[in-house]
Structures are given as structure tokens and as C-alpha cells.
Chains A and B, each alone.
Chain A
Amino acid sequence: MIRFLHASDLHLGKPFGGFPEDVRARLRQSRQEVIARLAGAAREGGAAHVLLAGDTFDQETPAPTTIRHALNAMQAASDLTWVLLPGNHDSLAASELWRVLAADRPGNVILATDAAPVDLGGAVLLPAPCPVRHPGRDLTEWMDDAETGEAIRIGLAHGGVHDFRPGEDAGPGPAGVIAPDRAERANLAYLGLGDWHGRLRIGPATWYSGTPEADSFKPHAPAGALLVGIAAPGARAEIAEVETGALRWARIGLDLVAGEDGVARHDAALPPLAERATTLADLVVTGRAGLAARAALMAAIRAAAPDFLWHRADLGGLAVSQELADLDQIATSGALRRAAETLAQEAAEGADAAARHAAHAALARLFEYRMEE
């Protein structure tokens, strides 16, 4: 019986430059601390090994402190064996990184830098390290013929799968090249994959663990790892999902229809108050709303934004519905009314998207000015 924790894509050292400095520091810290949380999850699940399926580091040459902190955290969990597999971000082409790791690694850290069996004590790990960022071939192919005797065979790889192209996560490389039935072909009790930041089941014994700490607003399952137990050679792997994320990345979509109470929808869509301080919220409002409804929604957004660790609202996709009542609130007649009507018409029928957008924003601003009085 062997138990291990399968995780991947820690992306330690990811800078998150698009965020304000305080948020940036928090995001980096939460990633660095994920190692300790993985160790805790492993201990809690009775696992002796933590298999990291690539992209442990975000860059090929991380800052020395990033490497040192990671190794220190792993050394602190000395009761566990950590296996680091080179992924596409930290491929073997990052020779300096792997040189430093090889030189500084504590005794409980194994660097799976060769496509050769690694004895885990009761099982044999067959790693498929990425030699370069885009290897362009199925690195797991060698597992089919790997001689391991009667031991439990566990595969560890990083990259896409043939028939798995989930749109925005596909990355810039070629289509996935890892055979989705590699576990069956190579008689693997389990094939742990990395690269896909969301948790995903490819087959009964083939899983992407996803990242243990979320790093984007993509609609993944909660960040975490997989606790895997294999009783004996030929036995089915028992897989349990473990949540390890400290921060929540929430993309909140609001698709409004004209006349709808946007404020109520907005308030209902927000996470509970207790979670907001550890949540990065990306509010995307689409659909159609009148000027008054839009202004009310903006006020509600402004009121809620400080609750969150970070908050962004995108109302670019919210079209203005032509409601006479809104224009009447600007002016019932005269020059102001004429200006409002001009802008409303441009927002609906402008020559191009930029003109329509400008007119839309100008009309909303005119409405706000009038409502200030």
C-alpha cells in the first residue's frame, strides 16, 4: 500500500505584477506557504510522498530567495519525500535552476530529472521530465517499456493530452501530446499530470491535480491536490480531492436584462462577507440596463469593492437601454435633453464600437452629473 499526494503547478515566484503592491505581496506569500499546506494535507491523509508534477517554479531562473524558501519549506517537512518533476515553466532547459536545486536540495527532496524509474519504497515512480519548454513529443512513451518488476507503477508527467484542448488553458504550445490512455498502455496504477491549473479527471487512473493555490479567475474547481492510495500492484487507485488554496479568485458574471434589479443581482452574486477579505473579485457585467439601473449598480459595486482583497468591475459589456425615464431624469427638454438624446443615439447607432462606447460612457456620465444634484 502506498499513499502519496499529487500536486502540480505551484508556480512559486509568480510575480502578479498586474495587482497593487500589497495584493501582490499577499499573492506571492500565499503561494510560498502552499508547500506547508501540502505537507499538512499529506500528513493528514497518511501520505509519505508529495509528487509535484511540474511547474513548481514559475520562471526558469527564479530569485534565489524563491528557491531557498521552497527548499526550506520542504526540508521543514522532513517526514515527507518531495519529488520535483521539471515542467514546461521549469524545464530542464532551466539548467541553472536545476543545478541550484541539485546542489542545495535537502535529503528528502528527489529531483526527477531523468526519464528513469525512481524507487519510492513499495512503488516505482516513472517520471517524464520536460527537457525543454515545448518538447513536441510524448515524453511518457518510455513508460510503456520501463522494467519495474512487480512493483506498483506510478507515472508523473507534465503537459497536455491528445484530445484535451480546453480553450483558454491550452497554452501556446502544440496540441496536447500525452496519450490519454498512457496509464493503460504502460500498466500504470496512477498517472499524475501537471500543466492544467484546474483539477481534472482524464481517466480512472489519470488525473490533473490542478494548482494548489489559484492564480487566475479561470473557472476551475477549488484549488487543491489529490490524495492517492494504491493498495497493491493491479489495484485501483483510491483518489481523494484535498483543498489547499488560501485565497479565492472569483470571477462574478452578471448578465442583466433591461428592467432587472441589477443591484439585487449583484448583491446576491457576491460571496459571503467572511470570505471577501481573502477573495479577489473580478466582476463582469454584461447585458442591458437603463441609465438609472446602471448608476445604481455602480453605486452598489463601489460600496462592496472595499470588502475584497482585490476588486475589479468591468461594465464594458453592459449596454444602455433606451429608457425615456432615464433621459427625463437628465432633462425633459432643452439643450440638456437634446445632448442626452444625441448621446443615446450614438451609443445605439454610432459609427464604430469606439464611438458607441464613448457615447455610452458620456451618457452615463451625464446621467451621474444630473443625479449628483
Chain B
Amino acid sequence: MKLRALSLTNVRKFAGKTASLSGIGDGITVVSEANEFGKSTFFDALHALFFERFGATGKPVKALQPRSGGSVRVAVEVQTGAGRFVIEKRWLAQKGASVREAESGRLIASDGEAEAWIAGLIGDDRDGPAGLLWVRQGLVGLEPPGSSAADKAEKARLAETRRDLLSSVAGEIDAMTGGQRMDRVLRRCREELDALTTPTGRPSGAWKAAQDEVKDLGQAHDALAAQCAALGDALRERGEVMGEIARLDAPGARARRERDLAAARQEARLAEDHAAKVGRAEQALKIAVLEHGETGRERDALAEAARARTEAEHARRDAAEQAAGTACAATQAERERDLARAAHEEARGALRALQDALGGAHRRETAERDAARARDLADRLKAAEGHRAEAEKAAALVQANPATPARLAAAEAADGEVERLRAALAARRPSLRIDYCGDLRVALGGRDLPHGRDVPFDERASLELPGIGCLQISAGTGRAADPAADLDAATARLAAALSACGAETIETARQSAEARTADAARERLAAGRLDAVAPDGLEALRRAAAEAARAATPAAEPPDSRSAAQIEAELDAAAAPAAAARAAFETAERDLARARENSAAAAATLAAAERACAGALTAAGPSETMEARQREAAERERSAAQTRAKCQADLDELIAAAPDLLSARANLTRAEAAAKAAEKRRNQLGERRSALSAEIGAQASQGVEEQRDELAGRLAAASEREARLAGEVAALTRLRQVLDEARSAARDAYFGPVQEELTPLLNILHADAALSFDSDSMLPRTLSRGPEEEGLETLSGGTQEQIAILTRLAFARLFARQGRQMPIILDDALVYSDDSRIVKMFTALNRAAMDQQIIVFSCRQLAFESLGGQRPDISVTGAL
């Protein structure tokens, strides 16, 4: 199909007008007009003619309607292998579609049939392959860029279209790639795989759950296995413990231990007994040695006793003689002492009498002194009592008299003030003076006024003038001060002061004050006298007087006319003879004592000699048997020597035959320790058995082995499930891989024709450039320039735009190759291309245009001048 002419009636800016485009050639046709000419209106109207049904009211159709409304009409003349036809559609009002022969105007189809005719012309479905060949303004990609549902639907539609196109080009393309069957199989495979793995192939879903279950069960099983192992260990240990207890408690073992212990004890006892025998033998030897020594000493003692007896007898005789002599001397000394004592006693009696008399004299004199003192003190006390009474009396007077010096001073001051005020008042007081010259007298207040003397009066004075009348004299009023008031006040103060002094007048006050002063002096005097008489106080004086009175009790001494001095003189005279008598007596006493000592010593010596003699006689025994006894003693000594020798021999023999006592004791210690250890071990084992039983009971009550075995089974089942899922994933992964590989291989062949058409066009732009296609979208995915491969989305907008157009050119050539010539329509394309690239694109377009109709709408008149091609005729006619 090729377009030859296009007319738009009542479309957008051509409201009420018809715009026509004619003279469209086979190759490139360029509609290059300024902006706002309506190029896009032509493009959109042409697009609507082919892709919008005449009954459509959607946005693409409404967008064609001018503001004034009305029916929108688009007609296009196309040339196909069957001839030239005019396709016309009307939308929104007078809706309809028709296909007519261009030359004859014969109606070929209308409305629905016309739509079907159009669909057959552009493809199997309404959005068929021709849709690939429209490039709107600014389009840089081959697919809608958005991700909305509409965009996704459009992408799917275009992909299907490309597939359809390539399928047609490649023949059995569906069979090669699997087509929709392949898609469904792959979708099922991916769905199942996605349910089990993540996009990166890691486990998820049921597979992950199975792995987690295996892991969890494994951990739980390991924990229980450890618990079971511990339980098993405890059981084994308890078995061992019970076995050991049984061994320890076994009658044979117990009897063996007891036998061992008894044997050790027996051995030790024998050894101890033998040791005791040795001890006893040693003891016997010691006794024999002692007895031997004793018999020797007995023999010697006999000889010594015989000698001692003789010596004692001689000593006794000498002592008897000495005792007799000393006894006579003592008797003589005693007689002499008795005489001296009598003289001494006599002298001492005389002295004592004198001393007694002297004492009595002294006591009498002392009693006299005490009586005198008592009297003196009584006198002083009496005087003191008087002074005290006097002082107290005076003090009472002083106390009773209020006229203290201060009060008197105050009264004196007040009296002075009164006197001063009186004087002042008197000085200011009016007075009368009359100097009589006759007998008549003037009376004032009933008394005659004296002659020639001032008689004061107070406020008023009434003078009786005999024969005349009564003369009233007034001192007048209005004086500045009132001395009488001050005087009254002072008089009141004086009265108060006098009252304080207990007086009525100042004189009596002075007298009271003087009396008070005198009383005070008297009090001081009495107090001073009291202090003099009783310096320690009256109470002390009273006690002293009472004590002296008691001490002055008269002594009951015999009367003696001698004074103490006389008696002392007599005593002095008697002292010398008394001292001589005493000295003689003392000498006699000493002599007697010495004589007695000598006598006693001699008697003691005699007694000792007699005792020694008696002892010696006793010790020596009867002298007549002495020799016999000495012979017997010698015999006993020999016998003791023999006994000693025998004991020594016995001891030596026992020592030689003695068992090893230490070893026996050690063996017994060992046996006892072993028995004790066995008992202790038995107790420990019993305790351990109890502890293990408690532990085992606790564990066994939980049925841990059942739990473990159950978990082991569950773990095995989970592992099997996990392995099955892993196998399933492996199978699905392999299936997806094989399917992808098979489809990729098919698509390599599938994209061959496209590459064949695209490569020459691409090389106009980039030498050695190549495009790879995505197997899903069937669109260029990467651009290779030399060794580098770049994703299409990373290229510049200009390059993307150029590749998009070249790809459309390639697809269009495929259409053409299958006999379905479809025009390529570009609306303001190549807006992103620079000058050098746009020239190359023009070259590519011209190359494609050699067997492909290309219609270019552009406002870039200057830039597209070099594109070449034809310029169609454009006209706009008036209203309908």
C-alpha cells in the first residue's frame, strides 16, 4: 500500500474547510511547513483513518473535531496491487466508512465492510504491523515509555505485532520459537520456580520453609539427642554405681574385708603382746639390777652400823659430863638474878608512886585551867550575846526609820525649793505699811496693823478703818506667772518627801535622820564588838563555851599537898638508884640466860648423843648377831647378781624373737583405712545413686527418647521433602534454562531477517555497529560499537531516536518483502539529531525509500531541505 492523497474536512483548525495533500510519491515525500500549519493534524487524521473505527468516540477522534463541532471527515487515496482506492471515514456525526475505486468512484465497501477492508490492508488486526511504522513527534524509543496499564497493553500489542511480523517474515516463526505455547510453558515453569525460589535462585516459599524446618528440626533433634545422651550417661553411670555397690555389698567382698581387718588386728595384737613381754622383761631386769645394788648396799650398811654404834656410845658419855656442869652454873645464876630483881622491883615501885603523884598534880592543874577558860568563854559569850542584841536592836531602829540620807536629801531639796518659792512669793506679795501718827489703828483681819512694818497680804486685804469703814484692797489680776501654784506643787513634793522620811516637818525629818544615823553607828559598833569578842562567829563561840564547860569537869584526884614541881624534884632524885637497880637486874637476867642456854645446849647434845647411840644400836641390831647378819647379806648379794644375769638373758632372748611391731601396726592401719574407705565409698555411691536416680527420673518422665526418635523421623521426612523440592527446583531450573536456550537459539534465527535489513542502515550511522535483540520484547536491547556493548537506555536521546527510526525502516522493509508495502510516516522525527547525524539519517531514509514509501512531516524546513524527496501539493478550500 502506498498513500497518494489525503483530504481532511472539518478537522481541528480546518473547521468548515477542506485541506488536501496530493502528489505523494513512491519514495520520500516531505511535508515541510511552518509551525501551526497543521502537519500534526494531517498526521493524526491519517492515523485515525487507519486505526480508529468510524463509530469511535474516544479521545483520538474527539481531538480531531474543531471547536465548532460537526462531522469529522478524513479521506485518503491509496494504491495497492489491486488498484487505487479512496478510503473515507466520518466520525461523531454522519458517521460512516467507505472504500471506493479512485477512478470510477465505485463503492467497494462501506461501514463495517470498509473497516474489514482497511484491516486487511494494514494487517490481520486493527492494531497490526502498520502501527510499527508510525513515528510521532519526539519519539525516541520503540515502545511507550510509561508503565501504566495502557502502556503495558500497548507494549504487549507491539510485541505481538513484531512477532507476527517476524513470524511472517521467517515463515514458521511460531513453530521455531514455540510462540505462545512457549510463553505458556515458560510462564508455568517460572510460576512454579518463583513459588520455590527468589529471582536470584535462592530458596523461598515451600522450599525455604522445608529448609527452615529441616534446620529447626535438626537443632531440636540435636538438643534432644544431647539430652538423651546425658540420660544414657546417667543410666550407665547409675548402672556402674549400682554394680560397684553390689560388689562392695557382696557377702564375699565384705567377708574378705572383715577377714583382712581381723588378721591385721590379730597380727598387731600379737606384736603388741610380745612388745609387752619385752617390756615386762626389761622391767624385771631393772628390778634385778636394783635388788642387786640393794643387797650390796645392805652389806655395806651392816658394816657401817657396827662402826656407828661404837662412835655413838663414846659421844653419849662426853655429852653427859658436859650437861651436868652447865646445870650447876645455871642454878647459881638464877639465885643471883632473883636478888637483883627484888632490888629492881623496889626501886621501880618508888618511882611509880612519884610518877603517879606527878600525874595527879598535872591533872589538877589542867582542870583548873579548863575551868578558867570555861568561865572566860562564858563571859565572852555573854558579852557577845549583849553585843548582838544591841546590834540587832540598832538595826531594827535603822530599819524602822525611813529617813535615809537620800530621802532626807530629797526632803531638804524640796524644802529648799519651797523656801525659795515662798521667798519669791513673799517678794512679790503686796504688803501694807502704815506709819501711825495717832492712836487710831487700822485692823487687818481683825488684828491691828503694826506700825512701820510691811504687812504682806495675799489677793485681797480688808482693812478696817475705824470710823471710816472697811477698805478693800485687791492685788489685782493678770500677772504673768503664778508663784503660788509652783509653791503649792513644791509644797506637795516637800510633803511627799517628808512623808517618805516619816516626818511632818523638815526638822523632824532631820531629827529622824540624825537618829537613824546614830542607830546605824550603834549597830556598827555593836557588830564590831561582837566580831572582837567572837571573831569566829557567835555560834562558834557558843560551841567553844559549851565544850570548855564540859572539859572543865573537876578531876577526882586524891588530895596532895605537893605541887607538881615538888614531886618532879623528888622524882629526879629517885631516878638514879632505880636505874642502877634495873641495870643490875638486867645483868643478872643475861647471866642467867647464858647459863640456861649452856645447860640446855649440853642437855640437847646429851639427848642427841643418846638418840644417836640408840639409833646406832637399833641400826646395828644385836651385836651378838652382827657377824651372822653380815654373812647373810653377802649371800643375798650373790643371789641378786645371779637373778640379774638371768633377767638380762631372758630380755635378750625376747628381743631376738620379737615380731615387727611397726609393720603390724601399719598393716592394721592400712586394713582399717581400707575398711573405712570401703564404707565411705559405699556411702558416696549410695548418695550418687540417689542423685542419678533423681536426674534419671526427671529426664525419663519427659519421654525424651520418644521425642528424639519422633523428631528424627520428622527430620528425615522434612529432609526428604526438602530434597524432593530441591530436585524439583533443579528440574524446573534446568527446564527453564533449556527452554530459554532453545528460544534464544530460535530467535537468533528469528531476528536474522531484521538484522539483515537493519545492519546496512545502521552502518550508515556507525561503522561496525551491531544491535542485539531482546528475546522477550523483540526490540533492540544493546548497541555494540567495537568491543563495547551499551544498553539502549544508556545511549543519548539522538542515538535512541535514530535507532528507533532505523529499526522501523528495517521492519518496514520486512513488510515490503512479504508483499505488504506499508508507508512509514514520520511526524517531526529526528528532533534530537545533530546536523551530521541527520544527514546520515537522510541517507538511510533515502536508501530505504528506494522500495519504501516514506512520508515526512516537519516544521524544520531548512534542515529537511537536504532530505530530498518530493513536496506534495497542499491546498485548503473554503467552507462546505
Q: Which residues of A contact B (CB under 8 A)?
A: 13-19, 24, 58-66, 93-97, 99-100, 331-336, 338-339, 342-343, 346, 354, 357-366, 369-370, 372-373
Contacts and interface: CB of A to CB of B under 8 A. Distances in A.
Contacts of A94: 235
A58 B706 contact: yes
Interface centre among B177, B188, B741 (most CB of A within 10 A): B188
Contacts of A17: 709-717
Interface stretch (B150-158, B288-296, B693-701): B693-701
B731 A358 contact: yes
B795 to A, nearest CB: 30
Interface stretch (B254-262, B566-574, B742-750, B844-852): B742-750
Contact of A58 (B174, B709, B733, B739): B709
Contacts of A62: 703, 705-706
B649 interface: no
Given A335-B745, A373-B181, A93 B175 contact: no
B106 interface: no
Interface stretch (B236-244, B549-557, B785-793): B236-244
B710 A362 contact: no
A252 B734 CA distance: 31
Contact of A331 (B181, B696, B699): B181
A336 B188 CA distance: 14
Interface in B721-752: 727-728, 730-735, 738-739, 741-743, 745-746
A357 B693 CA distance: 53
Contacts of B743: 335, 339
A95 B185 contact: no
Contact size range, B: 35 or more
B178 interface: yes
B228 to A, nearest CB: 8
Nearest to A131: B239
B232 interface: yes
B176 interface: yes
B723 to A, nearest CB: 11
B707 interface: yes
B175 A333 contact: yes
A60 B188 CA distance: 51
B181 A15 contact: no
5 contacts: A17-B717, A60-B235, A334-B177, A335-B742, A361-B728
Contacts of A338: 742, 745-746
Given A14-B709, A17-B717, A335 B697 contact: no
A361 B736 CA distance: 12
Contacts of B746: 334-335, 338
Contacts of B715: 17
A245 to B, nearest CB: 20
A60 B235 CA distance: 10
B635 interface: no
Nearest to B744: A335
A139 to B, nearest CB: 17
B779 interface: no
Given A60-B705, A95-B242, A339-B742, A361 B731 contact: yes
Given A354-B730, A365-B731, 12 more contacts: A14-B709, A17-B715, A61-B704, A63-B703, A95-B242, A96-B693, A96-B696, A334-B172, A334-B179, A335-B182, A343-B734, A358-B730
A230 B179 CA distance: 81
B184 interface: yes
B738 A362 contact: yes
Interface centre among A96, A99, A360, A361 (most CB of B within 10 A): A96
B705 to A, nearest CB: 4
B408 interface: no
A360 B732 CA distance: 11
Nearest to A20: B717
B189 interface: yes
Contact of B713 (A19, A95, A346, A363): A19
B213 to A, nearest CB: 12
A14 B700 CA distance: 15
B231 interface: yes
A55 to B, nearest CB: 14
Interface string B438-471: 0000000000000000000000000000000000
Contacts, number: 160
A291 to B, nearest CB: 13
Nearest to B221: A17
Contacts of A362: 731-732, 734-735, 738
B845 to A, nearest CB: 35
B774 to A, nearest CB: 16
> Which 6 pairs from chain A and chain B are nearest by CB?
A17-B713, A63-B703, A15-B710, A361-B731, A59-B705, A362-B735
Contacts of A63: 701-703, 706
Interface string B667-708: 000000000000000000000000001001101111111110
A281 to B, nearest CB: 16
A47 B447 CA distance: 184
Contacts of B704: 61
Nearest to A342: B738
B714 A64 contact: no
A369 B184 contact: yes
A93 B236 contact: yes
A348 B189 CA distance: 22
A139 B742 CA distance: 69
Contacts of B697: 96
Contacts of A369: 184-185, 188-189
A93 B710 CA distance: 22
A96 B176 contact: no
A335 B236 contact: no
B714 A61 contact: no
Nearest to A366: B735
B713 A365 contact: no
A334 B235 contact: no
Contacts of A370: 181, 185
Contacts of A372: 188
Nearest to B731: A361
Contacts of B713: 15-19
A93 B703 contact: no
Contact of B178 (A95, A331, A359, A361): A331
Contacts of A360: 731
Given A358-B730, A362-B731, A343 B177 contact: no
B210 to A, nearest CB: 14
A357 B733 CA distance: 13
A18 to B, nearest CB: 4
A270 to B, nearest CB: 23
A336 B181 contact: yes
A58 to B, nearest CB: 7
Interface string B494-521: 0000000000000000000000000000
B182 A336 contact: yes
Contact of A15 (B178, B232, B709, B741): B709
A326 B734 CA distance: 19
Contacts of B730: 354, 358, 361
Contact of B189 (A60, A93, A365): A365
Contact of A93 (B235, B700, B706, B716): B235
B176 A334 contact: yes
Nearest to A343: B738
A100 B235 CA distance: 14
Nearest to B746: A335
A342 B742 contact: yes
Nearest to A332: B175
Nearest to A370: B185
A336 B239 contact: no
Contacts of A358: 727, 730-731, 733-734
